[in-house]
Structure 1
Amino acid sequence: MSGNEFVGYGRFQYHHQQLHCENTPLAELAKSYGTPLYVYSRAAILENARTFLAQAPASALVCYAVKANGNPAILRLLVEIGLGADVTSGGELFLALHAGFPPEKIIYSGVGKLRHEIEAALDANICALHVESAMELEQIAAIASQRQQVVSIGVRVNPDIPVGTHPYISTGAAQHKFGVSAETAVTLLHFAASHPWLKPVGIAAHIGSQIQEVAPFATSADFLVGLADELASSGIHLEYVDVGGGLGVNYETGDQSPKIEDWIRAVATPVESAGYRLVLEPGRAIVAGAGVLLTQVVYTKPQGGKQFAIVDAAMNDLLRPTLYSAHHAILPVTKVTGTLKVPVTYDVVGPICETGDFLGKERPLSLLSPGDLLAVCHAGAYGFAMSNNYNGRLRPAEVLVDDETAQLIRQRQTYEHLLEGTC
């Protein structure tokens, strides 16, 4: 499917030919805050997060993957309803603590933790550091010994499970940089168990992102439980099994695929049956469908047998189409009727000097004119989080909608921001 694959979805629906976020017209937000503009639905974020909490076992720890969208206002929403945080850098740890996530609900993963980041995690006394190499564990052990502080350790295992996703976001195969082999994990956890300042508490895996079938997740959960049981037989009794995240979103239809409850059932059953606490790390599934990127048509241009719609958003605002050839549906903010409704096939592109600067290709849209507004759908995850200042472009503003009210949760950059940190 391409172009207008679906007409409204979730909290983004047409009313009187105008696309709304909840009960707020997107055209009014564009007028008030300008474009490009990220718009998020508070109700959609909370609904998705609460589904995870409701479907997971009562003892489970649901850690939101901060990398998906780290806006402090969104993080505070998730704190308030009881989620934990999955962080992958010192910056994400800072954001999680700033938002109010309890340290005992924060898990820190990542292959290249720096000394000051490890020390910050120890200062905060977070739930656990998830180790991804022998050298990293040695570094943590040395710091723990110097501080004479007991550090809770989990190990991320690479289960070598192939998944059907983009190769850049497949993370669980043997050739990937993430995690360690099962054999190495056992060795590291035995080392931790024998060390006076290390405490082995968990085993984890994250096989990739944007995965749209349940079977690989179930296979990974079974693998982790088997490894935890093997460790228990040698005297190392772990507290939890962390099955990671990666639940996909169907960007073409607007549906959650697979459904949250089906995914949780698949990973929770083996973990609960074996008597371990379940840890989940959802990110995209909570925020992707809760956001759109609003953009305005600047020019239209016929060339080389194509029709281009040149808009004021670009690859620096939403990198996923360029980086992953990712598909985001693009909807007109004002639904056109009558003779102008006859579709024209456009490549929707930005002003950056790269041929790869596009938001969508070959999209059938009603005849566009300068000033028309478009909504790039399912942009709540890895949208603003991956934005940048390439070509001297300014990062967009962000707005959080609650029914008929809107709150500016990040100001648009000004040119002066481009000088920050320079000498």
Structure 2
Amino acid sequence: MPTIDSQQGYSPERVEALLHEQTPLLSDSVLRGFVEPFFLRRDEFLAPLEKQETPLYLFEPEVLRRRSERFKVAFQKHFKNTVFYYAVKSNNYPEVARVLTTTGFGLDVSSGLELKMALGLDTQSIIFSGPGKTRAELEMAVTASERVTVLIDSFHELQILGEIACSRQQNIRVGVRLTTRVDGLWRKFGIPPETLARFMKEVKCFPYIHFQGLQFHTSWNLNAQAQLDFILLLKKVLAQFTDEDLRRIKFIDVGGGYWPEQGEWLQPAATKAGLLRKAMELSPENDNNHYFQSACSIEDFAGHLGWAIKNHIFPLIPDCRICFEPGRWLCNDAMHLLMTVIDKKSDNVVITDAGTNAVGWERFETDYFPVLNLSRPALSEKPCNVLGSLCTPHDAWGYSYWGEGIEIGDILLIPTQGAYTYSLMQNFIKPLPEVVVV
């Protein structure tokens, strides 16, 4: 989601420019092309209601398999030695991880809970990343060291892991995460690149710790620019290393953060003008328009990253394995939400039996996803506040729906809710949806 750059100030000229800044409109033809295939599968999505009640998550394993294959093919075209890990945090439904391991993916876990699940699925290749790993979590990793590589997040974490491995006389493979932004909240992740030489020196002090490589991660990537910028910085850092130290680097993990190519679809409130209106305590504009930020295809990501690594990294480390950790890009399209209209306050206000505790955050105040009325399908969109049943005003699914009309008892589908929704569900007021495979 875009943010207002406070460093540029709020001069009258700047305010006027932002209020009139033109965020690209999401075209009706693109929306109809997205909506129509879901209406054509209406009976398939309604079938689970013969046995179960809404709200439900609908999970499509075949979508997940197709996405995983496309991702692998895109990057294997540019890299002979590459490994893929699914970022479990993006959707921690165990069946998502299980399906992806059958397609050749390992698992990227960020907590002891996720590590326990990955081990329970008999996953053979696991990377354990994330800040603030506890001693108990690191002990679990050491216990499963034949399957786990720990991506160390700090010098303190190196010390703790070294002590555990030494006390058990157990070898374990490690990498280290590099900070991609040295300002703001992103400083919580990894070590600054300029301290990498120090890290590689200190890791030698722990005989049971086997240093293997580097990881970095940039998030919310609509294109590859942030990754390319960091690769160029990494080249400058590595160029100062000795040949001996360079040979110690067996892998470079480029992380994830790849945005689905449909782009980011926005409500008016998420545009720069909308954010500014909120900051100025002005009423939001209800123009019924939808906006978007474009994203490149995964093939474009692979092409750009392939070129950058070939030209900036391989001259220094020619035999380096390249790893990727997609999450959102894989699972976004593989889950949908099904709900029922249980009250109608007026022609433009309805209440559903699903609350946004099912997704864990107020995403639909800023993010736009079409709400499809499967009971009265039509390729036309009508204004209406489609709200949840939680006792909070921030419980909104959208401000319009696709259909001929909307009445109590109608079944609504919100497609492509597979990423950073199921994982964020919270026990707040109403029960959580179950998952049904379609």
TM-score (norm 2): 0.78
Task: After superposition, give the CA deviation of every residue in 1:298-354 in whole Å (9 maximum; x if it has no partner).
Answer: 11223xxx92221111111023434983332222224535xxx87531122111112
CA distance in 2, matches of 1:27, 1:310: 19
Give unpaired runs (5+ residues) of structure 2. Answer: 1-24, 266-290
SS in 2 for 1:207: coil
State the partner residue of 1:13: 38
Q: Is the Cα–Cα contact under 8 Å of residues 213 and 251 in structure 2 kept in the other structure?
A: yes
2:258 equivalent to 1:218: no
Amino acid at match of 2:255: G
> Offset at 1:231?
3.7
> Offset at 1:196?
1.5
Q: Is the Cα–Cα contact under 8 Å of residues 252 and 322 in structure 2 kept in the other structure?
A: yes
Alignment of structure 1 residues 10-409 onto 2, 5 Å: 12-15=37-40, 19-20=41-42, 25-56=44-75, 57-102=79-124, 105-125=125-145, 126-160=147-181, 176-208=187-219, 210-233=220-243, 235-236=245-246, 237-249=248-260, 250-252=263-265, 257-273=295-311, 274=314, 275=318, 276-302=320-346, 307-322=348-363, 325-336=366-377, 343-362=381-400, 366-391=404-429, 393-401=430-438
CA distance in 2, matches of 1:281, 1:227: 23
Task: Report the CA distance shift for 1:350/1:320 in structure 2 as closer, same or farther (over 3 A).
Answer: same
Task: Report the CA distance shift for 1:292/1:270 in structure 2 as closer, same or farther (over 3 A).
Answer: same
SS in 2 for 1:224: helix
> Offset at 1:144?
1.4
Task: After superposition, give the CA deviation of every residue in 1:214-264 in whole Å (9 maximum; x if it has no partner).
Answer: 211222233334434444546252011111000112253999932111112
**Range with greater deviation from structure 2 (245-254 or 130-139):** 245-254
Task: Report the CA distance shift for 1:12/1:282 in structure 2 as closer, same or farther (over 3 A).
Answer: farther
Task: Report the CA distance shift for 1:281/1:296 in structure 2 as closer, same or farther (over 3 A).
Answer: same
CA distance in 2, matches of 1:327, 1:150: 48
Task: Report the CA distance shift for 1:342/1:244 in structure 2 as closer, same or farther (over 3 A).
Answer: closer
> Offset at 1:185?
2.9
> Offset at 1:67?
0.9
Task: Report the CA distance shift for 1:265/1:342 in structure 2 as closer, same or farther (over 3 A).
Answer: closer
Amino acid at match of 2:223: E
Greater strand share, 1 or 2? 1
CA distance in 1, matches of 2:92, 2:245: 39
**Range with greater deviation from structure 2 (362-371 or 210-219):** 362-371
SS in 2 for 1:235: helix
SS in 2 for 1:33: coil
Task: Report the CA distance shift for 1:101/1:124 in structure 2 as closer, same or farther (over 3 A).
Answer: same
> Offset at 1:373?
1.2
Q: Is the Cα–Cα contact under 8 Å of residues 152 and 198 in structure 1 kept in the other structure?
A: yes
Q: Is the Cα–Cα contact under 8 Å of residues 364 and 396 in structure 2 kept in the other structure?
A: no
> Offset at 1:364?
6.3
Amino acid at match of 1:122: V
> Offset at 1:9?
4.0
SS in 1 for 2:391: coil
Q: Is the Cα–Cα contact under 8 Å of residues 213 and 252 in structure 2 kept in the other structure?
A: yes
Task: Report the CA distance shift for 1:382/1:143 in structure 2 as closer, same or farther (over 3 A).
Answer: same
Task: Report the CA distance shift for 1:148/1:25 in structure 2 as closer, same or farther (over 3 A).
Answer: same
SS in 1 for 2:211: strand
Across the aligned residues of Structure 1 and Structure 2, the Cα RMSD in angstroms comes to: 2.8
Task: After superposition, give the CA deviation of every residue in 1:32-62 in whole Å (9 maximum; x if it has no partner).
Answer: 3221111122221111101122122242111
CA distance in 2, matches of 1:195, 1:110: 21
SS in 2 for 1:316: helix
Task: Report the CA distance shift for 1:10/1:364 in structure 2 as closer, same or farther (over 3 A).
Answer: closer
Task: Report the CA distance shift for 1:289/1:83 in structure 2 as closer, same or farther (over 3 A).
Answer: same
CA distance in 2, matches of 1:243, 1:37: 34
Q: Is the Cα–Cα contact under 8 Å of residues 342 and 367 in structure 1 kept in the other structure?
A: no
Task: Report the CA distance shift for 1:394/1:225 in structure 2 as closer, same or farther (over 3 A).
Answer: farther
SS in 2 for 1:347: strand
TM-score (norm 1): 0.81
Identity %: 25
